[in-house]
Structure 1
Amino acid sequence: MNWSHRHNLLAGLGLILLVNAIALAGVAWNRSEPADSRLQLSERELGNSYEYWRKENSAIALRLDYRWPGGRANDYSESGSNQLNASKMRELGFNVPTEFNEDSMRRYRRQLDRDGLLVLEFNGPLYQQQLQRAQERLTKSRAELAALPTNKDLQETYQDARADLQREQTSASRLFIIDAGADRASLRATYPDRQRYAIVRGKISAWAWQHNDSWQLGGSAQLPVADSINLPQRWHQLFDSLPARKGDAEFPHSGGDKLFNAELVFGQRLEPWVVQFQAGQP
């Protein structure tokens, strides 16, 4: 091996070591005290992302399940996921048109995604509102069915309302995106309870469409840190032995989830990790 090759090899090894050192330093800084927030979650907010990989991969990755205000427990439509209004998009740095037409909306949609901060609320007023709406839907549906007990459509609506309330009470995520912004200090001042509100980094996208001759525009957000949260090895055996939620014959797909409680901490870089993990109650 000549001098040049030896130096290239050493330089490559040095670069690898440097990159690893920077990554480890970033993890250490993120996990240094004080943490930005701590949330006491359960399987309702932390789904198992990659269970089908377990045969080839011993890792266990959890997925942070969050919702937008107003959507039903199983609402994955655009109306349930695109919730940043025009005013909020302007605050986040997007150029929001003042005249609504094809050209202005095309330019609005073509704007590049932007980084922003999202506020997550856990088991707070928004979740209570969701429970109340589900209960109101059931009450209204029950009254309508009582007036026309043989109506098939009303019977289906009533059963759907019962299932919605059951999901809200037992399995739907209680974690909601409540706000967005660009300044971390301002958001924390508005939401000071670090046991209820977590601030996370997100990727903001613009959307717009025309419906019934009226333009609708706003934004949606993705949380990259929510896609995969590693469960430390020391809890793998416990995870595999966890009890599962029992199904209810009256409510299809109501069982099967592993039951657990976990403390999720968001650190200096607003990146989450699991610090406590235990079996939940059936």
Structure 2
Amino acid sequence: MKKSLLIGLVILIGSNAIALSGVAYNRIGVVTSELTLTERELGLPYNSGMNKENSGILLGMNWRTATRVENAYNGYNSHEAEVTQAQLLALGFEVPDNEYYGAQSRQLYWALEFDGALHTAEITKAELRYQAALETYTQQPNENNLRLKDDSLVSLKKEKLTNSRLFFVKAALDYESLAAEFSGQDNMLFVKGLAKPYYNVNNNSYRLLLRELLVSNIMVPLEYSEDLSGLSRLGYQDITAPRYTVDIKWGSRLEPWITNVTNKQLGSE
């Protein structure tokens, strides 16, 4: 019994040591990305506001893909990207077809753009959709067109104030190629994520289903937890300016850690 406990203790200590060494290595190496994100990109957990004083807070990464101009109702979090057959092959996938459903997810390196041209384009698309809905309602003032006008106005306000500004741009087999391609762009984030391909029989196109980030939640250090204590997660209908900012670095393992949190309502760090 004592021998089993001793073995278990040794395994636990060894596992913790390996984990801590990985964290240390990530932070000792080169900083691959450094951004100041807000509540738009880092959401509070659903049980926020009920955290005990010394309990940790996990912030969830909110990222997205660009919507299609022709589709006003393209899912905000569709998390898929159109790709060519050649691009899928370059990512190491077998090319799927309409009878191929068993593609396995694989780890890829992702490039994400923060508060750049893709978000500016989303605001423009939202404005055009609202103007089109407003014109339609003006010409045909019925209940359905009123709803479409109101919904598109809400979407425009959300795009300007609450929607995430962190957009998927590209996937690759290695970090180095992405870093070289986007060199000099300080609003780029490089992370690891899982993705799988599929074939869309409706329009005969290939798509890359972006499953998840390998690190999708970030733990707030205890010294910064107080800045977020008492804040509850915003609801879907809430349209309000971000209440906090978070300074984050990503290290050599492309894993994040928080260096500062600012509660904008308190106006202090």
* TM-score clears 0.5: yes
Question: Does residue 1:228 correspond to 2:217, yes or no?
Answer: yes
Q: Distance in 1 between matches of 2:73 and 2:38?
A: 18
Alignment partner of 2:59 out of 34, 58, 62: 62
Q: Which amino acid aligns with 1:119?
A: A
Match of 2:227 in 1: 238
- Bigger relative contact order (CA 8 A; separation at least 6): 2
Match in the other structure for 1:269? 253
Q: Which amino acid aligns with 1:94?
A: F
Counterpart in 2 of 1:42? 38
Q: Is 1:83 aligned with 2:74?
A: no
1:200-219 alignment to 2 at 5 Å?
Answer: 200-211=191-202, 214-219=203-208
Alignment of 1:251-266 (within 5 A): 253-255=237-239, 259-266=243-250
CA distance in 2, matches of 1:34, 1:77: 33
- The structure whose Rg is larger is 1
Q: Tell me which amino acid in the other structure corresponds to 1:264.
A: I
Amino acid at match of 1:208: Y
The 8 Å contact of residues 62 and 231 in structure 1, kept in 2 or not, is answered as yes
Change (3 A) 1:203 1:275: same
1:51-101, CA deviations, whole angstroms, 9 ceiling, x for partnerless residues?
A: 2694589221000000101169985478x322141343222111115xxxx
CA drift at 1:140: 1.9
Extract unaligned runs of 5+ from structure 2: none
**What is the TM-score with the length of structure 1 in the denominator?**
0.81
**Of 27, 32, 35, which aligns to 2:28?**
32
- Distance in 2 separating the partners of 1:30 and 1:73: 41
- 2:102 aligns with 110
Q: CA deviation at 1:14?
A: 3.0
Task: Using structure 2 for the length normalisation, give the TM-score.
Answer: 0.85
Residues 279 and 55 of structure 1, relative CA distance in 2, 3 Å threshold: closer
CA distance in 1, matches of 2:175, 2:199: 27
- 1:132 corresponding residue in structure 2: 124
**Residue deviations 1:170-224 (CA, integer Å, cap 9, x gap):** 100000001111121111111124630011101112223432xx43432211333
Structure 1 segments unaligned to the other structure (5+ residues): 98-103
RMSD over aligned CA atoms reads 3.0
Distance 1:184 1:30 in 2: 14
Change (3 A) 1:170 1:73: farther
Q: Answer whether contact 2:34 2:249 (CA < 8 A) is retained.
A: yes
Kindly indicate whether the alpha-carbon contact (under 8 Å) linking 1:225 and 1:272 is maintained by their aligned counterparts in 2: no
Q: Map Cα deviations across residues 231-275 of structure 1 (whole Å, 9 max, x no partner).
A: 111112221155998x9xxxx822478610111211110011111
- Structure 1 residues 73, 47: CA separation in 2 closer, same or farther (over 3 Å shift)? farther
Determine helix, strand or coil for the equivalent of 2:30: coil
Greater share of helix residues, 1 or 2? Answer: 1
> Aligned equivalents of 2:162 and 2:72: distance in 1?
9
Rounded to whole Å, the distance in 1 between the matches of 2:76 and 2:116 is 23
Residue 112 (structure 2) pairs with residue 120 (structure 1) = yes
SS at match of 1:223: strand
State the alpha-carbon separation in 2 of the partners of residues 145 and 90 from structure 1: 47
**1:44, 1:173 within 8 Å by CA — same for their partners in 2?**
yes
Q: Distance in 1 between matches of 2:48 and 2:135?
A: 44
